[in-house]
Each structure stands twice: as structure tokens, then as C-alpha cells.
Amino acid sequence: MTADNIRFETLAVHAAEPRPAHGRSVVFPIYQGTVYEIEPGGGVDYLRYSNTPTQGYVQEKLAALEGAEAAVATASGMAAISTALASVLASGDRVIVAGNIYGGTHALLAEESRRIGWGVDFVDADDPAAWAAALTPATKAVYVESITNPLVRVGDLAGLARFSREHGLTSIIDNTFTTPMLFRPHTIGYDLVCHSATKALNGHSDLVAGVVTGSAERIERVRHFLMLYGGSLDPHAAFLLSRGLKTLAIRVRVQGENALALARFLEGHRAVAEVHHPGLESHPDHARAAALFGGFGSMLAFRPAGGLEAAERLLKSLRIPYSAASLGGVESLVTRPAISSHAKLTAEEREAAGIGDDLIRFSTGIEAAEDLIADFDRALED
């Protein structure tokens, strides 16, 4: 069962499910064991190698959803990103990083990379001249996010994939904000796709996980580094992730509808200074997002009129969303990126990225849109 002959909603439920089912159970079991008997002439199945039955099951499902040959599940999104990069970059190599990126990834590439020996060139995701200027004989990869965190910008993703192919570079993309429900980067030429599966892929705020998808050859190399670094995914977390994936399509659809309705409401409210959501016609990347994606996602950011004081007052007044730093769950979450996802950046770096202290990020859940809007309407008037 592949994405070529079945719709995504059905694929999310049935991909990788064994027929006949194990022990006639329609739910794939948790194989909690860490060691397995070696068949004559066979390889070793071992939890740290990410090749035990429950790990293999969720990896096959993840690969099917992204339309990839293979996938490897990891213990976190950062484990996915770091091992994907390590599979491509050696000491002395360089990577072109396009656009603003998640704070944890930025810390890895702006700070830890110097100790590892990677060179990093940060460029505008919309400026091909800057990509070309950053290119050196040591450049081996391009890294970008499908939708940036927290300002939800959409760079020239197709152009970056072409640039990578033309120059023999490995293209790596973090697809966390869109999920394969809305966008499959492999279809436009990306070599490795990473996710923080902690977020929308699982969708229930109860596990930490990641995934990398790509060709079988590339994923085997990622798996090698994952084995060495020890970032394998626990079988019980793999089970929970597989369960979350089955409802991915309906969750992403409702979250996207809610986010767009809320963004439109906020854009028209006198107490809101600016709103960022790619579904808004006013968003600078709206046309590109509409052309690339099957929807605009659950994330939005905005600045209330009145600056930091107004932002803090609003966060205290809202009743439905939790004030928390993650995203992609069934419950709405609200936070200020300056003190959460991007707290590790300096004030100067946040300012350069457009992340002011008064910026609010909202991860839209599956609550009724009317209730979310009413909650904001009341809180903005407090």
C-alpha cells in the first residue's frame, strides 16, 4: 500500500500494517525486547540499531507517509537533525543554511558546529545570489525549514532543491510545521527530510521523537550515526507515535482550518498590530505556500498593539490555550518565542530575525474555532 494508489487519510491508518495481523490484533504490538536471536548468516537486531520490530513498523509507516524509500526514527527531533547533518558533513565541510531556523538547530549550527569542525553559511532563503556567493569547494549540504519558526515564512524551497542538485549538494529540510499531509519535500527533490515527531506527527504532547526519511542508501548512513550517538527511539514511544500517525490527516485538517479562521480574526482586530500566517493573502509568501502545500498549517504568530506589556497581559487573560513551548498537539498552545523556542539566541540575533519580545506564537489545536476566537476577543479587550 503506497501513496501512489491510495489517499493520504487511508495511508496514515493502514500503511505498514501487517496482513494477516500479528496474533489477529489490529494494533501492532510493542516489542519491548532489546535483544533478539541471531538467525544463521543473519544480521543483528538490537534496539540501539533501530531495527527491532516495533521500531521497524513505525519507520515503514513514516517512510510511506513521506513517500520515501526508507526512514529511521530517533529519540528526538534534534537527534534527527544532528544525525542527518552528521551523515553528510565531515570536519572541514560547510553547510548553507537558508532562512531563519528553530532555536535548537541554530544553537547546534552557530555554536556546536565550531567544535565539530563544520563551517556554516547563513543565507536568505529567497536570494539565489546569496546561495551562490556562499558556495565553496567545501560546501556539501543545504539546510532549510519548510515553514520557519516562529514567523511562518516559506522560502524558495523548489529553488533551493534545484540549486542543491545543480551543485551536487545534499538537500536537507525540516518538515515539522507542514507534515507530509500538506507537503512532501522528496517530490520536489529534497534528499533528506527531518521531523520533530514530538509535534504534529504524534499530535498528543506525550512523547519525544524524531524521524529522517530519504533513499535507502542515505538512511542507512543516518542510521549508522544514530547507532553511534545512541539516539534510538524507545519501542513504547514508537508505539505511541504510530498511534498518533493514524489520526494525522484529520488533526492537521482541523488545525489548519482553525488557524486560518483565527488569523483572519486577529488581522481585523484593532488591538493587534500584525499577524503572520501563510494562509492570509497579506502574507508575503502566501502565493508560494498555496502553490507548494496542500494547506497552510496550524501555526501563526502575531504582535498585539501595545508591545510587551500587552503581550504579557494577553497571555495571562487567555483561558483555552496552555502557555507552553511546544506545538502541533490537539490542544492549543501559546508562548513568546523570545523566552521559549528562541531563548538561546542573543537579543541581537532575535532582533535580526524579526523575533521581538512582544511576538506571540500560537499552535492551534482541534478545539472549536468559534471558541478560540471568542477567547481571544475577550482577552484582547481585557
Q: Any idea which residues carry the catalytic annotation?
A: 48, 102, 174, 199
- Alpha-carbon span 75 to 260, nearest angstrom: 32
Q: How far apart are CA 310 and CA 304, in angstroms?
A: 6
Supply 254's cell numbers: 482541523
Contact 344, 103 (CB under 8 A): yes
**Whether the Cβ atoms of residue 172 and residue 84 lie closer than 8 Å to each other:** yes
Q: Please state, as a whole number, how many other Cβ atoms lie within 10 Å of the Cβ of residue 132.
A: 12
Structure-block grid coordinates of residue 292:
507548494
Q: How far apart are CA 25 and CA 35, in angstroms?
A: 23
- Angstrom distances, CA of residue 257 to CA of 80, 269, 279, 338: 29, 19, 10, 27
Output the CA–CA distances (angstroms, integers) from residue 62 to 72, 163, 191, 242, 366, in the order listed.
8, 27, 15, 9, 23
